[in-house]
């Protein structure tokens, strides 16, 4: 229930068209617009707003569902966490870089030739950046960054400058 639904695919000579569940926007959009209220900068320990708790719980449930089906997302970031129009449910999206693990496997090797591994700058786990053995933990790292990002109202845990984040993560 917390992974975006795929309905159909069509293609022509130039494009591939996907029919996916309609979503109103992303978690990134909500945080940037201030629609996901965050605790004050000096976190006082009070509970986050109800939508925030629900959204983060659904994010983790969607990730758990993928992992139980031996799928590693490989590109988790707030932009890939969509919110539906009707119920404001969270749906994980953009699984174009995802990897399916064989049932008896718990890890995979980085793609050869992929400098710094796959994923988005600033949201990749240290083992992705170093090209080491990768597991479902790469998604857990990214999910932790998303939780921090949401709870701080848009502050990335590894710094404000996008291209410095990978170095800070390593």
H or E element in which residue 95 lies = none
Per-residue DSSP letter, 11: E
Separation CA 152–CA 131 (nearest Å): 30
Question: By CB neighbour count within 10 A (0-12 exposed, 13-18 middle, 19+ buried), where does 145 fall?
Answer: buried
Separation CA 3–CA 90 (nearest Å): 8
Considering 12, 29, 65, 75, which one is annotated as catalytic?
Answer: 75
Question: By CB neighbour count within 10 A (0-12 exposed, 13-18 middle, 19+ buried), where does 33 fall?
Answer: exposed
Residue 29 catalytic?
A: no
Helices (H), the chain: 27-33, 50-68, 126-130, 137-151, 162-169
Q: Name the residues annotated as catalytic.
A: 75
């Amino acid at each position: 229930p917390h992974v975006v639904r795929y309905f159909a695919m069509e293609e022509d000579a130039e494009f591939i068209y996907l029919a996916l569940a309609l979503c109103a926007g992303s978690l990134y959009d909500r945080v940037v617009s201030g629609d996901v209220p965050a605790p004050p900068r000096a976190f006082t320990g009070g509970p986050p707003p109800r939508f925030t708790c629900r959204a983060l719980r659904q994010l983790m449930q969607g990730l758990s569902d993928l992992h139980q089906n031996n799928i590693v997302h490989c590109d988790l970031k707030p932009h890939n966490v969509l919110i539906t129009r009707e119920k404001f449910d969270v749906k994980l999206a953009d699984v174009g870089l995802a990897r399916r693990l064989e049932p008896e496997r718990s890890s995979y090797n980085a793609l050869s030739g992929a400098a710094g591994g796959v994923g988005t700058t600033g949201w990749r786990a240290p083992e992705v950046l170093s090209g080491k053995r990768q597991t479902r933990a790469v998604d857990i790292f990214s999910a932790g960054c998303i939780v921090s990002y949401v709870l701080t109202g848009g502050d990335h845990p590894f710094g404000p400058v996008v291209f410095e984040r990978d170095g800070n993560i390593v």
